[in-house]
Amino acid sequence: MARKNRDEPASWDEAAPEPVYCPMCERVIPEDQQEKHYLVPKSKGGKETVCLHRICHDQIHVNLTDAQLA
């Protein structure tokens, strides 16, 4: 009986994670460009987050203050 290689995924579904889409630009976010954004600023007690493109996240903070985001 052949041994199962534990390093290999059980199926192709496990090998490829689901793509993450940016809610601002609606494009797939490469893993190295994903950033967590607090919907209500963390400094104001925010806990809920969304994943954004790094550049989309930067645009939010360039154009809006924490007071405007809260």
Locate the domains of the chain by residue range: 30-70
pLDDT at 25: 97
Compute, in degrees rounded to 10, the torsion defined by CA atoms 68, 36, 55, 14. -150
HSE-CB at 14 with a 13 A cutoff on CA atoms is 6
**pLDDT (tens digit per residue) in 19-52:** 999 999 999 999 999 999 999 999 999 999 999 9
**pLDDT higher than threshold 90 for residue 8:** no
Angle at 42 between CA 48 and CA 28, to 5 degrees: 50
Confidence of residue 5 (pLDDT cuts 50, 70, 90): low
HSE-CB at 16 with a 13 A cutoff on CA atoms is 3
